[in-house]
């Protein structure tokens, strides 16, 4: 590897690790070589072998292609198989990612939300079970759920507990959310679809899902009133422009990485620094064109949540007539 390319390679790594990170120490462990050998590679005195490059790329989740073509942006995604175990692994990976973000003093999540951020669905167990049942039965086509109607105990307590851990962890991370008037529509339509299709085990269960969704919206309204969650900053913006896709920017130390929604609820991830910089510019522009309704703008905040709750009440009346 030519010296200039090798230096660019190490600079890319420095961009995605925290400041004051003991890079040489970790590379010594990753490559199973001495620190002196690492420093010779960092200075460009010794060329990295192809095997060493691949090992480092795997460890820091960067691609070899991005070295050869600076304009290339590579995404990775974790395949979810159509079974309950694979979905649980998806939840556990999400929890690990959130805990990693939380470990940074300056970790932050910026979320442009075409749909309600998944974390909020995991506060109330009946709604949690419904959302997971919907994803697995109607999106993933999990065979174990084929032909089943929804009832809360159809999913394991372990799945519900993992989801709750995800929510509790999200509450501890500073975040920004950008919504539109239609962000809550997808969940509302999912409940309505299951009701009209006879996919609830009973009317009582359908109403319980509605109750949990109302409680979710009310909890969000309280977070917006305070402008914080569990003592960490929470900014909530309302935008008149359709967002078009769920986009999440993670900022942690000097690292930035971006998630884009994939197959309804799954996400693709890129650690490309330039792509994330452009994403941050786009998100900043979205915020400038949005109204901040957390901590301020009480009138508009109450109007927004009242409209969402009224739509839910219309559906509840449909179920009880």
pLDDT at position 197 is: 96
pTM: 0.82
Residue 167 corresponds to which tokens in the numbers above? 């929510």
Q: Residue 68 has what pLDDT?
A: 66
Higher-scoring residue by pLDDT: 25, 216: 216
Q: Which of 157, 158, 152, 161 is nearest to 133 (CA)?
A: 152
Measuring CA to CA, which residue among 177, 172, 120 is closest to residue 294? Answer: 177
Tell me how crowded residue 87 is: count the other CB atoms within 10 A of its CB.
20
Tens digits of residue pLDDT in 146-184? 999 999 999 999 999 999 999 999 999 999 999 999 999
Q: Are strands 175-179 and 232-239 parallel, antiparallel or unpaired?
A: parallel
Asked whether residue 113 carries a pLDDT value surpassing 80, the answer given is yes
User: Which single residue is written with the structure tokens 């330039």?
Assistant: 274
Domain coordinates of the chain in residue numbers?
3-68, 84-319
Architecture of domain 3-68 in this structure: Orthogonal Bundle (1.10)
b (16+ CB within 10 A) / e for 266-288: bbebbbbbebbeebeeebeebbe
Could you give the C-alpha distances from 297 to 32, 55, 190, 236, 292, in angstroms and in order? Answer: 56, 51, 30, 11, 7
Reading the block at residue 196, the tokens are 């009209």
């Amino acid at each position: 590897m030519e010296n200039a390319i090798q230096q660019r390679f190490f600079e890319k790594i420095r961009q995605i690790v925290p400041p004051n990170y003991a890079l040489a120490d970790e590379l010594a462990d990753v490559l199973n070589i001495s620190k002196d050998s690492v420093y010779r590679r960092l200075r460009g005195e010794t060329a990295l072998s192809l095997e060493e490059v691949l090992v480092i790329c795997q460890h820091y989740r960067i691609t070899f292609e991005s070295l050869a073509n600076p304009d290339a942006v590579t995404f990775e995604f974790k395949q979810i198989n159509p079974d309950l175990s694979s979905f649980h692994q998806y939840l556990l990976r999400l929890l690990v990612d959130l805990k990693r973000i939380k470990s940074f003093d300056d970790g932050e999540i910026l979320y442009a939300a075409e749909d309600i951020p998944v974390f909020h669905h995991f506060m109330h167990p009946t709604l949690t079970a419904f959302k997971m049942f919907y994803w697995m039965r109607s999106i993933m086509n999990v065979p174990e759920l084929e032909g089943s109607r929804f009832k809360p105990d159809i999913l394991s307590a372990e799945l519900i507990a993992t989801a709750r851990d995800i929510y509790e962890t999200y509450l501890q991370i500073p975040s920004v959310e950008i919504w539109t008037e239609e962000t809550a529509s997808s969940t509302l339509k999912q409940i309505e679809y299951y009701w009209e299709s006879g996919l609830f085990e009973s009317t009582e269960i359908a109403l319980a899902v509605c109750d949990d969704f109302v409680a979710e919206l009310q909890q969000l309204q309280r977070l917006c009133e305070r402008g914080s969650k569990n003592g960490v900053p929470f900014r909530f913006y309302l935008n008149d422009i359709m967002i078009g896709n769920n986009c999440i920017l993670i900022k942690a130390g000097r690292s930035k990485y971006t998630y884009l929604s994939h197959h309804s609820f799954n996400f693709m991830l890129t650690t490309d620094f330039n792509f994330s910089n452009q994403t941050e510019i786009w998100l900043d522009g979205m915020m400038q064109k949005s109204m901040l309704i957390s901590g301020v703008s009480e009138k508009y905040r109450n109007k927004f949540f009242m409209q969402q709750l009224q739509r839910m009440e219309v559906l509840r009346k449909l179920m009880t007539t």
